[in-house]
Amino acid sequence: MVTVVDDQGESALGPLVTRAAVLKRAYSWVDENVPHNGREWWSNEFGCYRTDSAGYLAMAWQLPESVAGIEAVAEVSDPIEKAMLLPGDVLLRREGTPVTRHAAIFEDWVETASRMSFWGLEQRTGLGAVRRRIRYPYENSSTRYEPYRYRNIL
């Protein structure tokens, strides 16, 4: 196991987490209709996290509550190939500003053969925490979304 340490000397990696646990945690916010707001926090049985896409991913991956920002979650994950995507992996947009960076949790392919769309869970401006069909890599966005895998996922 690799340990990533933040500015305060604390490990940014959480404990080992199963793919089923990642989805259970992610669905907790979908079921609670958690609104999106990068300046607000949400508390439930899984902890208290910021209600933007980075906070949502940190909650789902069981990272420390202090982890904030797409770059912080990128530091505890590794890029993977599209063909390797499994439930609980993520599509990250790392470029841009803290406001425009984004993450969507991969659940499954809509059509396994074509792999053109996937079921994703995300914390999205105007919608909050949702599960929705997303075209790969991310709505044919002109910005780059890349697949990543958390280092402590089982």
pLDDT of 8: 39
Domains of the chain: 19-150 (3.90.1720.10)
pLDDT of 1: 38
pLDDT of 11: 59
**At residue 89, what is the residue type?**
D
Task: Report yes or no: 150 and 26 within 8 Å, Cβ to Cβ.
Answer: no
Token pair belonging to 149: 């895998």
- DSSP structure class, residue 5: B
Place of tokens 């053969």: 113
Residues of the chain with pLDDT under 70: 1-11, 139-143
Global pTM value: 0.88
pLDDT of 103: 92
pLDDT of 74: 86
pLDDT of 82: 93
pLDDT of 80: 97
Place of tokens 């280092």: 151
